[in-house]
Structure 1
Amino acid sequence: MCNKIQPPASAPETLRYRGRFAPSPTGALHFGSLIAAVASYLDARAHGGEWLVRMEDVDAERNVPGAADDILCTLDAFGFAWDGEVLWQSRRDDAYAAALAELTAAGVAYPCACSRKEIAARTTRPAIDGGLVYPGTCRSGLAPGVAPRAWRLRVDNVPLAFVDRLQGEVVQQLEDDVGDFVLRRADGLFAYQLAVVVDDRFQGITDVVRGADLLASTPRQIWLQRCLGYPTPRYAHLPVATNVAGEKWSKQTLAPALESGMAAAELVRALAFLGQPVPSELGRATVAEVWDWAFAHWSFAAIPRQAAISAPATAA
């Protein structure tokens, strides 16, 4: 068990709502991205809170040149107004290194020398989000003369549960479902799980509204928050948009990029996807008029509770 673990904590109700939208600059924004942006933005404004933008560019190998600027320009063209400056993960290695050092000093993070091939030779247990459950090979230390490749966080097999605002109760047993997970990769880059937890704490995020494709990651993030003594935000995982093949709209499934000239229509389509009762006349509105309607009529309760919904590739 994590020897720094804290009692389950939530963001105190007295804190002002702080939400965020955190795209990765691996390509242009698409309809799936817009759903998360619209819902997180409106939920923040409905609570009288702040909405921050964070560029999750920690995975330098996947970043596309110019994509980050394109994302910010698209958000601006679609009428989003974020609070404060954009936070760039690529500039925060020192913060991630400090968190890893804290976890190492506490005895809950350890070096790992295993390659993917070696892990595959030792286990066939599938992890909850793909890949294989780490079998704990290096938990007791490295063999003499063996150099570490990555750093992992020790987990236990006590059920970890939280209540999602949309998906209800979620329970994972991390040791069985994931295994000790990576904090710093073999290529030296910090892992998404560590970066997002450290950044949510740094930005004072109280509420995370994002796609249900990230639901399986949340127990790991909560575990990491507890090991670092951080409060746990409230979570809401939205249904993701899927194509006719049932695949999530993403850059990998060739989801078309959002077009600024179609901003009003795409916003209306996103609102309808999110269960909002958009009137037919909104289809002829300007971007500003769409937002005026959305601010006045936003209903979190109307969002579908399922994890995925089929959606057409473009606005009609």
Structure 2
Amino acid sequence: MNNNTSISRVFSKKVFEELLSLGDNVTYNYVVDKYIDKPHGKTNKEIISEIYSIMGNTYRSEYFYMNTLLNKLLIGIHNVNTATALSQVRIADHIADFVLINGVGRVYEIKSDLDNLSRLNEQLKDYYKAFSYVSVLSSEQERDKVESQLKKLGRMGDSVGIYVLSDNCTIFNRDKTKEPKAFNDALDSYTIFTLLRKKEYEKILKRYFGYLPEVPPVFYFRKCFNMFDEIPILEAQELTIKELKKRSKATKEFMDYIPYELKSIAYFYRTPKDINKFSNFLEQSYGG
């Protein structure tokens, strides 16, 4: 495990599950011992802030991009109580980094300096099968390369938004931003349907048709999709987005308590009932 990877791994679900439940983790201890000056006596909250700052200056991982996007977009522009963000959403054959639901669904694909752009266009094609608004968040150094890739997609590429994470951690810079435009030509009913959990698509079908199919279990999924496929696709997309929006468990009160550096971890992987676990860990002195 190299040093940059270890710093990035501190901000992972697995590490924080151990830190919140046990108060201890091998990766966390390794990074603290290697990078933090005189850690004993400092709180975990202070140490986390220092590690995050090091990551921002030396190794901007996907978590750094994701966390900045969550802070600037969901918390800074929208509202945790009225908008929903989803992470690692499977759409056809690819996984979208970040999806924001607020009236419409918007996909954000993260491309940091550490990422390869070779798969970008295939990823975007899949995202447009389910969502009408798709954007790429890149570094300043990668923006021109992203724009060059998008030109290969023709009118679809023209619709893709581009946002840039600047060196001073701004995203919505008017000079660097290209806003996304709606593109519906690639929407695919099956791809939209597979975003849904069973209870979610059952709610949609019950609401739209007034009943659910009565068929043997082995045929149930296919029959439900056949019914869903009868719904006009833009209406089916809208109904799906309304169900996806209900998935958020976070509250504004919970997120207000969580420090900036950990908002993405807290939002995507924990619930408001974990606030005491966060409090105990963050206020505890390192090694105490």
Bigger proportion of residues as helix: 2
TM-score scaled by structure 1?
0.29
Using CA pairs below 8 Å that are at least 6 residues apart, which structure has the higher relative contact order? 1
TM-score scaled by structure 2?
0.31
